[in-house]
Chains A and B, each alone.
Chain A
Amino acid sequence: MTDTVSTERPAQAQVNAEMMEPSPGTLLRRRIFGHAGFMIGAVVLGTIFLMAILAPVISPHDPYDQVLARKLIPPIWHESAKATWEHPLGTDHLGRDYLSRLFHGAQISLLIGFAAMLISGVIGTTIGVLAGYFGGRVDMVVNFIVTTRLSMPVVLVALAVVSLVGSSLTMVIWVLGLLIWDRFAVVMRSATQQVRNLDFVTSAQAVGCSTPRIIFAEIMPNIANSLIVIATIEMAHAILLEAALSFLGLGVQPPEPSWGLMIAEAKGMMFFDSWLIVIPGTALFALVLAINLLGDGLRDVTAPENRN
């Protein structure tokens, strides 16, 4: 845009204008760095992400290696004499290094959250955008499907299905992904409805652009920020649902160290060695909180006019 304009306007005026008005990029940067929630969310999530990626490198021990004789060693801040720097966060009920399990657990919790969000995002966005764009019959059918899905209790159906077909990491991801697309569908539908009647869409239709082109080139970029916000909510949702499934013994199966499973395994000692549940619990809490803050922040940063 600047190129075409600059040939018509005096160069000096152009420069002046740019010096007086901050560019959109600068504005965005200012908003991002001025937004505390977004910053906290990004830093925490980034740290957890790094932990997950670097887990094989930074873990002091093998997360699966059990030494029964060295079980339930408390973390270093604990006053117990058993606490040792060899296991900074202590060991679990089977004598496995808690810090290493926490690092590897980050991988699995993030994987579950991300993969389940991706599956539900694809399903929900597809039917939501279709409903919003075409309206009429399509909208009615999608509305019907969403209502049906909403009427089925998520935790119950997830538990029933997992118990009938057997639980594994893949199965948990698929079951969650296939169950939590409703919010994507609802929000994408109304976002698309708002966008489809705007000028640039109608003009694209007028010049004869194909429907897929309009959807991908005109509509999607304009609903992307709502999409990101929902994606963060659902990612957090999936992570928490996995923790609930694990609590009931039907989530990720041991010895895989998901954070939800670590909390579930620690619940037995909750009244006695509370650090066992506090460590993975705080990690999970921080992760979910960070994702939520990031989502809220993204909404504020990308579309400040929608803030309420």
Chain B
Amino acid sequence: MKFSHLLMGAAVGAMLAFSAADAYAGKSDDTLNWATTREIAVIDPYYNNTRELVVMGHMGWDGLVYRDIDTGEFKPLLAKSWNWANDTALDLELRDDVKFHDGSSFDADDVVYTLNHVSNKDNGVLTYRNVSWIKNAEKMGDHKVRINLAKPFPPALAYLANAVFIMPSGHYDSAPTKADGKKDWGVVKPVGTGPYMVGEVKAGSHVVMEKNPNYMANSPKGAPQIGTMRFRTISEMNTQLAELLTGGLDWIWDVPKDQAERMNDNPAVTIENAKTFRISYLAFDVDGDSGTDVFTKKKVRQAVAHAINRQAIAENLVGPASEVIHSACHPDQFGCTQDVPQWEYNPEKAKALLAEAGYPDGFEFDIYGYRQREFTEAVIGDLAKVGIKAKLNWLQYRALRDIVRKGETPINHMTWGSYSIPDVSAIVSHFFKHGPDDPAKDGLTREMLDIADNSIDENVRKENYKKAFARISGELYWLPMFTYAKYYAYSKDLDFKATPDEIPRFYTAKWK
């Protein structure tokens, strides 16, 4: 009795110690509460390559140029104007009226510092492809810089607009050193020029961003409207839905199709299905590194391709904005074409191919996935119908990526969002130029991609990308599946428009 009294006393005391005020927000206190399932610890778009940081990157920081999502045209942001001095040198004139969140003025030193830091491979930017095209940056005046390229890189402006954020000079100097002697770059205090300033960060719980009252005038991003943006980690989708329905959250996404459809007539929320740059694909272990050699046989890969009803998955599970794709790129990206070998849904043909390949009774293998389990389950179901038994291994992205890079997966069902860069080099050149994610390491594909990547002639690029896509789909290194469509669900109070590139522009959102 005494012990229970003691415990009860402690519990009651602790409960009373809380402020009784409910921290409920939304329109009434000018706070937009948004949530995803992921825990965010590192607030730096170079050292955290999650989608959340792409979103927060555009809120907290600015790039040199801005890409208009509707027209595709590039507009001035931190740079007032730019011109190509030659194929490998881009000169930019910078704005002189911009201040960082800490009050310091923005000038050429900041650009030079940032670009030289991130383009140095030793500094370990997570998605090095985003900056590897930069050789270095030179100061040409207080507000004038030149970016030198390693070789001609046609989509440079697209990368500058979507993936290169400018940090203040000396930003990473205070990074601590890890036990293995390397710097822990991601832990410095986040400072940028963007429309929102990073406030309180609590990993696993929330990241608060406050409106930047001194945000630059006439930015193409517009002036920020809502006072506070509060990101929350809620790993259970049911809980997210419950919070949205009761006003605890104002905005969520990745709502599964079935739930989204049932909420359509709920008066408190708006449901929107929007395109994304993300595509879904199956990558085969073409070389037999995983210890299973079945997928070294092209007939088996063809059988898999014929066995999967991609149309049914896109229609029934993904959403109306999703479409089936046949080449390893998103149809909205420059250089993408569907004019490649296509594998129609035909289970009978799949069975025949399996028999020809020597597996009349099918076989068993491990399939790996990390995103939207029901999509992978549908693949498994389709394969089961032709006698192939796939065992699901469900992992977190990071863990899966390690295994994929070691070549241990017979088939991995993964996705790629191209960091929302509207150019096929952001996907096909990442995967098929013998990098760690390359499932085939095919010489011919690399040659074609090298030509396409390094040419500034649009037609040469298109033609060679097409050849590469035809080879990838024809040889079935990948089976491209479908484009992702995302269901957004947000409060009726919120004036928000989803964009087709999976980057919610919270800085343009306002209350109705």
Contact = CB atoms under 8 A, between A and B. Distances in A.
A268 B256 contact: yes
Given A268-B238, A270-B238, A68 B373 contact: no
Interface stretch (A40-48, A181-189, A248-256): A248-256
Contacts of B384: 64-65, 255
A226 B27 CA distance: 61
A216 interface: no
B394 A94 contact: no
Interface string B79-110: 00000000000000000000000000000000
Given A68-B313, A68-B317, A268-B256, A94 B393 contact: no
Nearest to A67: B312
B258 A272 contact: yes
Interface in B362-392: 373-374, 377-378, 380-382, 384-385, 391-392
User: Interface residues of A: mostly helix, strand, loop or mixed?
Assistant: loop
Contacts of A272: 258-259, 262
A34 to B, nearest CB: 38
A66 interface: yes
Contacts of B49: none
Interface string A211-252: 000000000000000000000000000000000000001100
A190 interface: no
B237 interface: yes
Given A68-B312, A68-B313, A69-B312, A253 B258 contact: no
B262 A94 contact: no
A254 B378 contact: no
What interface size band does chain A fall in?
20 to 34
Contacts of A72: 258
Contact of A68 (B241, B259, B378): B378
A31 interface: no
Residue among B256, B315, B374 having the largest count of chain A Cβ atoms under 10 Å: B374
Contacts of A68: 309, 312-313, 315-317, 378
A258 to B, nearest CB: 13
Interface in A90-105: 93-96
Given A268-B238, A269-B259, A254 B377 contact: yes
Contacts of B394: 167, 249-250, 253
B242 interface: yes
Contacts of B373: 249, 254
A267 B259 CA distance: 11
Contact of B242 (A64, A250, A269, A271): A271
Contacts of B245: 271
B379 to A, nearest CB: 10
A93 B258 contact: yes
A94 B385 contact: no
Interface in B282-313: 309, 312-313
A66 B381 contact: yes
Contacts of B312: 68-69
Contact of A271 (B241, B315, B381): B241
A267 B237 CA distance: 9
A250 B315 CA distance: 28
A22 interface: no
Contacts of A250: 394
B216 to A, nearest CB: 43
Interface in A265-292: 267-273
Contacts of A94: 374, 377-378, 381
A304 interface: no
Contacts of B256: 268
Nearest to B395: A163
Contacts of B380: 254-255
B450 to A, nearest CB: 38
A168 interface: yes
B484 to A, nearest CB: 17
A69 B256 CA distance: 16
A89 B36 CA distance: 33
Contacts of B313: 68
A35 to B, nearest CB: 34
Given A64-B384, A68-B309, A271-B242, A253 B378 contact: no
Q: Which 10 A-B pairs have the closest CB atoms?
A: A66-B381, A68-B316, A272-B262, A68-B312, A253-B392, A254-B377, A64-B384, A268-B256, A255-B380, A254-B392
Interface of B: 237-238, 241-242, 245, 256, 258-259, 262, 309, 312-313, 315-317, 373-374, 377-378, 380-382, 384-385, 391-394
Given A64-B381, A69-B316, A271-B238, 7 more contacts: A68-B312, A68-B313, A94-B381, A96-B381, A268-B238, A268-B258, A269-B259
23 contacts: A64-B384, A65-B381, A65-B385, A68-B317, A69-B312, A69-B316, A71-B316, A72-B258, A94-B374, A94-B377, A94-B381, A166-B393, A167-B393, A167-B394, A250-B394, A255-B384, A268-B237, A268-B238, A268-B258, A269-B259, A271-B245, A272-B259, A273-B258
